[in-house]
Every structure is written in C-alpha cells, then in structure tokens.
Chains A and B, each alone.
Chain A
Amino acid sequence: MKKLVLVIAIALMAMASAFSTTDPPYAHYLLGYVDSATDFTVTILENVLPFDLEGSEVAYNSSDTIVRGLRVGTYTLISNSTGFSFYIAHTPLELVANSGSEDGGTRTRIDYRLYMILNESSQKFKSCTFDANASDPKNAGKKIEIGASDFSTAPDFSDFKVISIINNSIYVSLDEGSQASTETAVSALKAGNYESTIYFLLEGN
C-alpha cells in the first residue's frame, strides 16, 4: 500500500513539474489556456519583514485616493473569463506570545489597511481593514473583492475578457480609524513580534 501511494505521488509530480519554479534555467513563461481558466499567485516580499511598526513607511494614511504604505508583496491574477471573483481579507497584526520583551505597553494588536493595486500606472486600488471573519474571505464583512468589471481596459472579445495582472503591488499601512488613534495605538503596543494572516480566495468558472 505504501508503494502504491508513492507511485501516485510521482505521477502527480510529473503533472505539476511544468509549473515548477526553477532558478535560473527558465527566465520566462508562456502560458496558454484551453477553455476558461483563472489563476492567481501571491508573493510576499520577505526582505521587508518583519517591518518596523514605528516606521514612517507604515504610518496612518489619511488619503482615500493615494496609497502610502510599505510594499509587502505582489500578486498575479490571470483570467480569460468574466465570471470570476477574487476575495481578500485579513486579520489584525497580533502579538506573538512570548516574543521579545513585551514591555512598554498594554495593547497586543493593531489594525492595518491592506491595499491591492489594480493598475500600477494609475494607482487604482482597493483596500480593507481587518475582519473577524477573515478566514472566510468571501463572507467577511470587510474585504477586498476584485472582479472582471474592475478592469475596464481589458480587451473585450464579445463574451469574455482576457485579464492579465502581473506582479501588481500589495501595500500596508497601519489604521486604527484615524491618524491620532493609530499613533496612540502604536505607542501603546507591547514590544515584540506581531503577525497577521491574509486570506485569498479565487472563484472562477
């Protein structure tokens, strides 16, 4: 029985190997789809993590139209169907227990605004703060929902569109509702390491 499982695993690896990322033999990819398809990938820029909660880069952003924050990742979204929905929601940044000295404050969590850039040149974006139901992003109260209608400039082939969003940026800035409350919250945080989970769900047809 063990041997049978091994054989199946090898077969699945063979199917998946065409999409494996290797460095450096394959510098570019050419993707093609038969029938409708949607897909996404998210890359977190680990070289900026953990970021400094007191850094100016992640300070409260008072603008509703301009993104000011720390670039923490990128995402790629590809679809040749208009019938897709991409949901994103996240938890707050919460203190990891027994991390650091945990002195200097009373608060153990802080909210932030997550920005998903829809168009890098126009800086069109969608954003959201944390939601308690973030692990179910489709049904979260505060979430980002991205659909085909958000990309009006995509070529329209009568009944379907081809959407190709490659490595668009993901930003974060701390957000407790206002600049004053955010600054107060930051100064009241316990010292230590904080962690947040961002959930992604893509439904396509």
Chain B
Amino acid sequence: MKRIAALLIVLSCVFLLSAGTKTDEKKITAVKRSSTVGDPALEVQIRFMDSDNAEFAANADIGLPLNARDADYTVFSWVLSGNAWRAVTVSFTFSPMYREYEADPSKYIPYVVTMTPSSSRIGNTVIPVNSKSKAETGITTDFDSSYVIKYGDSFSATGTPLSVGQSNQSASITYNMSVNSIISQNGDEISGSSYDHDVCNFWNRMGVAVVHLGITADGEVNGNVVDDGIYYANVVVNVYVD
C-alpha cells in the first residue's frame, strides 16, 4: 500500500461580495500521456471543487449556506485522475463539527456525509459509473496495438453515508481499475490472459460529497438551540494506490 497524497480541507462558512466591475479566472487542465511504450510513469492526482465547480486548494475553507439546516448541501466534489491500473482508494476522515473557540462536545453539530461516485472518463470519453458500454466499443492501449482492453469501472464504498457525532469518522471508496478483461481485435475474449502492467490510459473518476446537518428547521439540536457562531468540520483526504 503506497500513500500518494494527503490533503486537508476545512469546512467552514465563507461569503461573497459583488461589485460593479467583476472579474474571475478559471483554470483548465490537460495531460500528455507518457510516450514510453510499455512503461509510462504511474500518475495519480486528486482535485477538489466547491459547489460552484471552482477548484480549491488543500487547507482552503469551503462553505455551507448561512443558517444551513435540515437539508442536503453539496459540499465538494472530487476528480481523481491518473493512469494507475490497479485499485485506487480515496479515504475521507471527517471530524465533529465544532463551534469556533468552543471545546464542549455537547455543542457539536451532528451531520451525515454521503460520498457518491458520479461519473468516469477514459481519455476524453465519458463513461457512466458501473458501465462498460463505451469501453466495449474499443479503447485501445498504447502498449500493444493487437489488443483491445475493456476497462471495468467498478468501485466499492465503505462507511458511506457517514454519521459524524462526537468523534472522527472515516469512509473510503475504492476504484478498482484493475477489473478488466482483454479481448483481441476481432472481439473474442482471451480466456485466462494476463495483462498486468502498472498503468493504462489516462482516466478520471468523479465523486461528490453531500452533507446533511442535524439541525432542525427551528435551529435546534436534540432540543437545544444552536448557538450563533462559525462552525468547522475538518476532513482529511488520503489517496492510496495498491
């Protein structure tokens, strides 16, 4: 098990302010795959977007609406990308949601977070989660032109939805990129074949995290009125490549 990255994100409240003249900037990203046939370098990266699809950096604050209550809110989405041809696991550890400067655990706000894989892509082709339909039309590898590989897109999720109360809770999603089969150019599957390279075509795996706060519409938790203030929950994200 190799640890590729460790990122820390802090959930908190943020605000926007508009003005007469408005500016914005967005980044687009691209990849040139390795040209070393048979042995490209293994690459894995993860990026995070807020509910407006704007990328944010590790340690950045991302916000929920003011007076968020008993409803679902998209907190962030992630794009895991790379070329690793093996199981890649993203783990999330959420802390209790605590009020700034408040150490009393009884003041924590319980919440539920649901992490859901949403879509996937190989090359520039988007494929639905858990579907091989696009892949079956033939996405060839760079490594051997005599084979067409059907990429499986299976994943397994553990611990989601996640209920966070007064202690840290963890969930993980494993994208099993190594689930695949190999067929020849004429479409016949090669029984018992083994194709155990470390990498494959560049892929994307998307997902979204939705939080549901345990605050009633009246602003109460377990019958107690929630104090005004800024509340934080920390989430640590790790990416592991088998």
Cα A42 to Cα B230 with chains together (Å):
28
Contact between B123 and A55 (Cβ–Cβ < 8 Å)? yes
> Shortest CB–CB separation between residue A4 and chain B, in angstroms?
14
Contact residues of A between 93 and 122, Cβ < 8 Å to B: 93, 99-101, 103-105
**B10-35, CB under 8 A of A: which get 1 and which 0?**
00011111101111111111111111
Residue with the greatest number of chain A CB neighbours at <10 A, chosen from B32, B79, B204: B32
Q: Which range contains the number of B residues in contact with the other chain?
A: 35 or more
A to B contact number (C-beta, < 8 Å): 190
Provided the pairs A14-B66, A55-B123, A197-B27 are in contact, do residues A189 and B32 lie with their beta carbons within 8 angstroms?
A: yes
B159 interfacial contact with A, CB 8 Å: no
Contact residues of A between 31 and 64, Cβ < 8 Å to B: 38-58
Q: Which range contains the number of A residues in contact with the other chain?
A: 35 or more
B119 interfacial contact with A, CB 8 Å: yes
Cα A127 to Cα B6 with chains together (Å):
39
Contact between A12 and B15 (Cβ–Cβ < 8 Å)? yes
Contact between A194 and B40 (Cβ–Cβ < 8 Å)? no
Instruction: Choose the segment among A21-29, A139-147, A175-183 that binds chain B (4+ C-beta atoms closer than 8 Å).
Output: A21-29
> Shortest CB–CB separation between residue B46 and chain A, in angstroms?
12
Provided the pairs A9-B15, A104-B35 are in contact, do residues A202 and B22 lie with their beta carbons within 8 angstroms?
A: yes
A166 interfacial contact with B, CB 8 Å: no
Cα A42 to Cα B24 with chains together (Å):
8
Contact between B67 and A17 (Cβ–Cβ < 8 Å)? yes
Residues of chain A contacted by B163 (CB below 8 angstroms) = none
Contact residues of B between 43 and 102, Cβ < 8 Å to A: 43, 45, 47, 49, 51-55, 65-68, 71-74, 77, 79, 81
Q: List 8 A-B contacts (CB under 8 A).
A: A13-B66, A55-B123, A57-B124, A100-B31, A100-B43, A101-B41, A104-B34, A191-B34
